[in-house]
Homo-oligomer: A and B are copies of this chain.
Amino acid sequence: MPTLRLALCQVNPTVGDLAGNAALVRAWARRAADAGAQLVAFPEMVLTGYPVEDLVFRRSFVAASRAALDRLAADLAADGLGELPVLVGYLDADGPPQVSGDAEPGRGARNAAALLHRGGIVATYFKHHLPNYGVFDEDRYFVPGRELTVVRVGGVDVALTICEDLWQAGGPFAAARQAGVGLVLNINGSPYELNKDDIRLPLVRRRAAEAGATIAYVNMIGGQDELVFEGDSMIVTADGELLTRAPQFVEHLLVHDVDLPPARESAGPDEALADDMRVVRAAVDAVPPPAGGPAATGGIIAPVADEAEVWQALVLGLRDYVDKNRFPSVVLGLSGGIDSAVVAALAVDALGPDRVVGVSLPSQHSSEHSREDAAELAKRTGLDYRVEPIQPMVDTFLANMSLSGVSVENLQARVRGVILMALSNQEGHLVLTTGNKSELAVGYSTLYGDSVGGFNPVKDVWKTLVWRLAKWRNADAARRGETPPIPENSIGKPPSAELSPGQLDSDTLPDYDVLDPILIGYVDGDLGRDGLVASGHDPAIVDRVLRMVDTAEYKRRQSAPGTKISMKAFGRDRRLPITNRWREDG
């Protein structure tokens, strides 16, 4: 039985940075070669970054991707790595035009993978199953491939697949079984979701059984705009044995010797396979394995606890948003409350205290303990701490306008927003927003006030999870003998916006222990009123919460729309990655 030393390169590319991503591939291919690898795989669209969204529609970008691929193949050979077969994801466009209406002439873009060897491209594969749900819009961007590419490497038949191909039954994995392959490479840009790692391993096992082959799964890591990729690369045998598994949220080279069945002389049929696919075959000579050394094993990293996993995801998402967009530093308001304390702790973990500015913005309604808790947080974390009282500005507005009630509450939040944005303009910091998902859901925030900012690390974190994260982070620090970053008082005190005398969240909202389960059912679970009531929630509270969410839905959306008179209005239909290093002029 042949043995192949596989190297899975769990790296962190950046959308649009073709030169940087190619350099990343060259550096990690070198590391893989040094480890004696015979076959190397990089993630989905590693060369362009993922997801490229509407960049697909720029012919110049597609052409740049293809040119970069050719150059990479040549550069790998020039680096002395030409004998090593290297699989990379990239953007191609040789497909037939997409059907997209007479009004919008189609394109034939492909989510593609190429096997590079001896300075050239020896095989390509086009993603077959295109995800078009949740964060994915691939039916909009790509034409599905209809061919399964099988490459004979070192006497083993290896099928090439991409991400979603693994998530749907039938298609390439069924075809791989029919074609009689011994190994399926699956390259991924699979975004992190809570508990997704618990789903992934059983899924890989199911597909390995379907294909009757070992699966080598490699996923990227890193933050890309709103998404975080987590890695969790692994190799699983046809009978479901987990051979090796990489850690989450860090770059990692996973090298493992895998025993694989020799290619059958008379392989399976090449036509009329599952999903009307057909097989295209190629072959490369493999470099011999290092003689005499020990077998390479990647080890198995056990997944971490939920809070640790979410914390790492949020730290990585924030760090990469700041660094890939080249912001020198961040600034945020510190209220003494739990949300801003957690965001500050995340920011310090992501960037270090020297790149985080925390501003206390007290008003006449700010309690003494709020100021003290903010100062205590600053002391514990070492961030750059400032105090900017807002009362003089608030008073000037009030002296010049006739405002009352909620207008005065919102005014205070907006003056804080103006101050943070002025600091951002003057000193170059990115403003962090700190509203949690529960607040966002019920609209318990001020439009253009506390919602001001360039990035919100906790926008998708329910309030009860914010508390759990704070407690976990403090306990983790204590376990390591470090100072817990978050003041106990910020965790323990009742939440308040402090925009009017004695105000508490509980004046307006149900307790978060009651609120969050309803919101989770309604927002995350798409349950209706009846479904929520059937789950045991109090009907009166359900009605109250649903009305708040429905109202907030358009309060939140009031910062965006206008009338479109073309297909290319700015706004949510123009989907461009923010962290995008690609420039027409290079």
Considering the chains assembled together, what is the distance between the CA atoms of A335 and B222 in angstroms? 45
Partner among B98, B425, B570, B573 whose Cβ is within 8 Å of the Cβ of A407: B425
* A481 / chain B contacts, CB cutoff of 8 Å: none
Partner among B396, B454, B524, B570 whose Cβ is within 8 Å of the Cβ of A559: B454
CB distance from A96 to the nearest CB of B (A): 14
B310 lies within 8 A of A526 (CB): no
Q: Is A173 in the interface zone, CB < 8 Å from B?
A: no
CB distance from A540 to the nearest CB of B (A): 10
19 contacts between A and B (CB under 8 A): A59-B526, A59-B528, A99-B168, A101-B164, A135-B564, A223-B563, A227-B564, A314-B563, A389-B400, A395-B396, A401-B423, A402-B426, A414-B422, A437-B569, A448-B452, A550-B583, A550-B584, A558-B578, A559-B559
Considering the chains assembled together, what is the distance between the CA atoms of A480 and B102 in angstroms? 39
* A455 / chain B contacts, CB cutoff of 8 Å: 558, 561-562
Contacts known (A529-B584, A557-B578); A100 close to B396, Cβ less than 8 A: no
B570 lies within 8 A of A441 (CB): yes
Q: Is A313 in the interface zone, CB < 8 Å from B?
A: yes
Q: Is A553 in the interface zone, CB < 8 Å from B?
A: yes
CB distance from A525 to the nearest CB of B (A): 8
Interface residues of A in 372-405 (CB under 8 A from B): 388-389, 392-393, 395-397, 399-404
Considering the chains assembled together, what is the distance between the CA atoms of A321 and B558 in angstroms? 11
Contacts known (A547-B585, A559-B559); A565 close to B192, Cβ less than 8 A: yes
A228 lies within 8 A of B194 (CB): no
A410 lies within 8 A of B392 (CB): no
CB distance from A138 to the nearest CB of B (A): 10
A456 lies within 8 A of B562 (CB): yes
* A452 / chain B contacts, CB cutoff of 8 Å: 448, 559
A401 lies within 8 A of B421 (CB): no
Contacts known (A132-B139, A407-B426); A193 close to B60, Cβ less than 8 A: no
**Partner-binding segment picked from A4-12, A112-120, A458-466:** A458-466
Partner among B60, B314, B526 whose Cβ is within 8 Å of the Cβ of A565: B314
A576 lies within 8 A of B563 (CB): no
CB distance from A62 to the nearest CB of B (A): 10
B448 lies within 8 A of A426 (CB): no
18 extra A-B contacts, CB within 8 A, seeds A397-B418, A401-B419, A456-B563: A98-B133, A101-B168, A102-B167, A103-B199, A104-B134, A226-B562, A318-B563, A407-B426, A414-B421, A418-B418, A418-B448, A437-B570, A448-B448, A453-B559, A460-B562, A460-B563, A529-B585, A572-B575
B528 lies within 8 A of A584 (CB): yes
Count of chain copies: 2
Considering the chains assembled together, what is the distance between the CA atoms of A103 and B168 in angstroms? 9
CB distance from A98 to the nearest CB of B (A): 8
Select from chain B the residue with minimum beta-carbon distance to A421: B448
Contacts known (A556-B570, A570-B440); A458 close to B226, Cβ less than 8 A: no
* A225 / chain B contacts, CB cutoff of 8 Å: 561
Q: Is A191 in the interface zone, CB < 8 Å from B?
A: yes
CB distance from A559 to the nearest CB of B (A): 7
Q: Is A523 in the interface zone, CB < 8 Å from B?
A: yes
Q: Is A363 in the interface zone, CB < 8 Å from B?
A: no
B569 lies within 8 A of A460 (CB): yes
Select from chain B the residue with minimum beta-carbon distance to A465: B565
Render A157-182 as a binary contact track against B, CB cut-off 8 A, 1 for contact: 00000001001100000000000000
Contacts known (A426-B402, A426-B407); A561 close to B226, Cβ less than 8 A: yes
Select from chain B the residue with minimum beta-carbon distance to A169: B102
Partner among B168, B321, B523, B564 whose Cβ is within 8 Å of the Cβ of A102: B168
* A547 / chain B contacts, CB cutoff of 8 Å: 583, 585
Partner among B396, B454, B529 whose Cβ is within 8 Å of the Cβ of A60: B529
